[in-house]
Chains A and B, each alone.
Chain A
Amino acid sequence: MDITELTLLEARAALRDRQVSSVELTDAYLDRIAALDPQLGVFVTVTGEEARAAARAADARRAAGEDAPLLGVPIALKDVLCTAGVRTTCSSRILESFVPPFSATVVERLAAAGAVALGKTNMDEFAMGSSTENSAFFPTRNPWDPERVPGGSSGGSAAAVAASLAPASLGTDTGGSIRQPAALCGVVGLKPTYGRVSRYGLVAFASSLDQIGPFAWTAADCALLLNVIAGPDPLDSTALPDAAPNYLAALDGDLRGLRVGVPREYFAAGLEPGVETTVRAAIDQLAALGAEIGEVSLPHTEYGVAVYYLIAPAEASSNLARYDGVKYGYSVAAPSLLDGYFRTREEGFGPEVKRRIMLGTYALSAGYYDAYYRKAQQVRTLIKSDFDRAFEQFDVLAAPTSPTVAFRLGEKVADPLAMYLSDICTIPVNLAGLPGLSLPCGFADELPVGLQLIGPPLAEGRLLRVAQRYQEATPWHRRRPALQPR
């Protein structure tokens, strides 16, 4: 079989059994990237030379009798994660030639675990978007249908796995940016509890919402990656101080007696019939596996998008104030310092980033703070309380990840509000800081559909266990898109 079809755990087993070397595996992925990425636009930067050197080092360690959790396993990284010596662009002109002097904690941990980084994946500029069309460089295409978007903002990382350009990848999720592209690309994506994974070296978008997480074909592969990246970090004071559990061990156990709540507001108007049918069938499958299904209400769901698009832009407008053309990044020489700020930011930022900076600055400005920003923070409390009440009755919530399957390139570009509403099922989870996972649960019109599982804080292990039992009982994650070099 083609070694690029292996799951992460299968690849690791093949490396451990010396059936394949890291150099062979890495070369296979680099060859596939060279053949297919021109038509997909997954990678902003491919680090082939560095990857081959890391693969050779991994093989040498293996030959010396060493092992590590990801020794010799290739992986792709969203281009929002700082990589020392490798440019980190956030798919923005303003960081097009930025080479970080340090690496993100998750990047350090992957390297320490022996992983081989293949390159940096495309994204919506500064992670702002739901289709990866907001990249300043090029859009990423959905491997299942290149006329459609992969979702976003981590569209490159999701498509990398779906197209078998990497066995796994890391993305980030501020309002759905892991789960929504995972759903639209037919792979598993996990957004951990806020604080579970260090954000050090993650270029900030909305600091109270951002979280890093894995993409892979299976829940077990995500558990393996989460084992490596989760846990406290002295460099991030918002990283939770308690040690992370072993998520692979947490996969054990059946679903008998598991209480699964189905939030009725997530099946509201705007949900495509094909998505609803597929997701409801997946919930029936959980029942067949022993779960007890019940309906639940999260009454403030409809306010989530409005709350998010005040809070996230407000935080973004503050975080992005650092791009001033003085210390790093794109810079326009101007007669005065102030003029330089205006022109650097005018030329360096794309339309969606400007829109969010304007929206956030407006919401924080004198006279509007109470009506918009503070109001949004109060409704955030109500949204969180909805979940708190639901988890008194249920262990896990099950819902669609996205109200639609992958949409066509260009379809929502001219209507920002329509684009924002594509995050309606994922945003509340970030506002409440909860773990959420999307897994492939079937196809509608030959396009993947994602089932979203939501848990109480720190229930990543439970979500992964439910997903793993579901995947053992279903074939969806074994389908692969038909891709041919052109």
Chain B
Amino acid sequence: MIRFDNVGLRYGSGPEILRDVTFHVLPGSFHFLTGPSGAGKTSLLRLLFMSLRPSRGLIFVFGENVADLPPAGRAALRRRIGIVFQDFRLLDHLTTWENVALPLRVMGKKESDYAEDVTDLLRWVGLGDRIHAYPEILSGGEKQRAAIARAVIGRPELLLADEPTGNVDPAIGNRLLRLFVELNRLGTSVIIATHDYALMEQLEAPRLMLYEGQLQASAP
């Protein structure tokens, strides 16, 4: 599904943020991506999501070499990926419901076909009473859940999450982890970038350890 071959990344003429990163993500797998702050987790996720180009090496997403893809091809692949950003990236002028429905709207689906699914998902993540609220009045945890709901609403084949439980209390964190596990059972590959060891302890899953820009270990 995902293959990195000797990937390196540097911003401009600065030092390499990532060095010789090589790994495979198989369909239906669940991975934690961990490491200290500044190790390059977010950069690695951005490479996975094709919002950055590697300085060297090859990246294959769903079997396609991303270096060869035109913008339309990358957009088509992104529709198969859900992403949760650390800073949520919700659109302030859209309601919570509209933010969550955005990927389906982009896919060209009819509102009548997905309206119920969006409402159900928002209830499931505990935002049933915040459907019509705008992001600026949501708490950090609520924004986090809305961002997760937006990432999973389109049943992506690959889910990338950057510190998805960073702003929520442990109970909600567990609930969100259950959502990720449930999605994984339905066939979605999941990569969660986190340094929340308590979260990782709850699930037996391989860990991709990043340390000073290098993938040092891949241990369950």
Bound pair: A and B? no
